[in-house]
Amino acid sequence: MLRVEGVAVAYDGIPILRDVSLEVGRGEAVGVIGPNGAGKTTLLRTIASLVRPQAGSVSWDSLRLDLLSAHQVARRGVVYIPAERELFPQMTVLENLQLGSYPHPSGYPVRLAFIFDLFPRLAERRHQRAGTLSGGEQQMLAIARGVMMQPKLLLLDEPSTGLAPLLVAELYRQLGRLRDEGLTVLLAEQQVPRALEFCRRLYVLENGQVVLAGSPDDLLKNPALKRAYLGIA
Amino acid sequence: MIGVLLDGLVQGLQLALLGVGITLVYGLGGVLNLAHGQLAVVAGVTTALLIGAGFGRIPSAFLGLLGAGLAGVIIDRTLLLPAYRRRGEERLLLALILTLGLSFGVDGFLAYRYPSVALTLRLPVGAVVLAGVRVRTVSLAVAGLALLAFALLALFLKRTLLGKAVRSIIQNETGASLCGIDVGRTRTLIVGMSGLLAGLAGLSQGLFSNLGPEMGPEFTVLALIVAVVGGVRSLSGTVIAGLLLGLVNAVASFYVGTYLTWILLLLAALLTLLVRPEGLLAYWT
């Protein structure tokens, strides 16, 4: 399980995360929602060890992630899919996926077949350079590459950003398949209805602090949340 | 004329060996190694000393190459660490200063300790006739070694997972880390490889004429010119640039005189920077 305890992060003295704690159990799909600038991306980047917290700790089963470097965290199975995707633009779809298998190269053909079954569009474009793919395809490739790494925990940062609604629906269908097969997911999402539908539990982050936590039903009972995020009076 | 062109191509391969080393390190680490030429000299001096001590020429050359590779690894893991802690322009500038200092230090040490050690490698046969053209065996040897090195490098980068990891770091360092790739360790490997390539260029010089301990700075400047003209983004561009400059150099030396060499090469670099400056700047972000 993932345990984030009392994490505080500041950039140039400006606090972004203040005393954030959360937990994600094995096989759970947990969401982090909140407005722009709430600190969702910073939280995920901190868990992935791209950012060092000034206070607090991040651990996966009893292993302290915040004491490791980013590539070590990734090798341990905590895989971060950033909103910027961070693909290798001059390399083909296939090569990007091959690099996903870098930490654990064995079983590559089986995993590749699974990925192509999940994302047939990537199979069609396997020899195309990643930089020439559409936004939606790049997002699929980023997630597919992450899944190639045999993640124990997938950290998804706003996967719906910049995608047309139909594509978002398709993406979440595939993510749902992965979730149903037992993948542990921590999802940061701006599109609150998607998050409420996908996740079993959610945390609401505002100004770098957790202000609400609970199941989708619990959160929907909260009038402030409904007003702020769903526009329902 | 054919002889001149062939000579030019072989010289070009030697220039390409130097340029590719610089390009690899710049692409992977964002640093320009101003002590690159000294790595070629390390290979030469080590080989010469071993031959002088009675070892066979081939084992000595092999160990000389390894010495250059090892020197690259040591530089990466010690001297360049402060540079790697910074990003972008800061990293580049700090690395320039550090490696410049190192190049002075190595030069000074060699001038003091081994002032007259020079590497001269002679082959048993002077020349052969191929398709009616008289070709020096030295040219064949250098061409063969350089082409083999490039072929192995290309295979490594295109066909092995580690080679793809190297290319991925050049394209997106963050993405590479997120795939579990240890950027620092991979970078050390590449700096070691660039040392091997520089060493091979140094040994080639020993085959052509002789390699003296004072030739470090000259090699560094040649490497930089080739890398700049090729556009430090692309390895194949650097190889082509090396070949072209080698041809230009050989033809000009033959028809006009060797004193033009440096002027022409520097002119080529200047023109490239004027016309295509983004070749170098593209990696600053």
Q: Please list the ranges in chain A whose pLDDT falls under 50.
A: 233
Tens-place pLDDT, residues B42-99: 999 999 999 889 888 889 999 999 999 999 999 999 999 999 888 888 999 999 999 9
Instruction: Enter the DSSP assignment of B92.
Output: H
Q: Cβ of B176 and A99 within 8 Å?
A: yes
Instruction: Specify the pLDDT at position B21.
Output: 93
- Structure tokens, A99: 């690099």
CATH classification of the domain holding B178: 1.10.3470
Instruction: Specify the pLDDT at position B140.
Output: 87
Contact status of B285 with chain A (Cβ, < 8 Å): no
Q: What is the pTM of this model?
A: 0.86
Question: How far apart are the CA of B176 and the nearest CA of chain A, in angstroms?
Answer: 8
Domains with residue ranges and CATH for chain A: 1-77+152-163+183-233 (3.40.50.300)
pLDDT band at residue B233 under the 50/70/90 scheme:
low
pLDDT band at residue B188 under the 50/70/90 scheme:
very high
Can you tell me the distance from the alpha carbon of B259 to that of A104, in angstroms, rounded to the nearest whole number? 56
Least confident of A28-32, B149-153, B234-238: B234-238
Tens-place pLDDT, residues B114-149: 888 888 887 777 788 877 777 888 888 899 999 999
Into how many domains does chain B fold?
Answer: 1
Instruction: Specify the pLDDT at position A221.
Output: 84
Contact status of B176 with chain A (Cβ, < 8 Å): yes
Q: Please state, for a pLDDT cut of 90, what percent of chain B lies above it.
A: 48
Tens-place pLDDT, residues A58-107: 999 889 999 999 999 999 999 999 999 999 998 999 999 999 999 999 88
Instruction: Specify the pLDDT at position B282.
Output: 43
Is B184's pLDDT higher than 80? yes
Tens-place pLDDT, residues B156-177: 999 999 999 999 998 899 999 9
SS3 A6: strand
- Nearest residue in chain A measured CA to CA from B234: A90
Rounded to 5 degrees, φ, ψ at A20 are: -95, 130
- Could you write out the three-class secondary structure of A59-122? EECCEEHHHCCHHHHHHCCEEEECCCCCCCCCCEHHHHHHHHCCCCCCCHHHHHHHHHHHCHHH
Residue B30, domain extent: 2-281
Q: Which of B179, B183, B234, B285 would you mutate first to test chain A, the one with the most A CBs within 10 A? A: B179
Instruction: Specify the pLDDT at position B176.
Output: 95
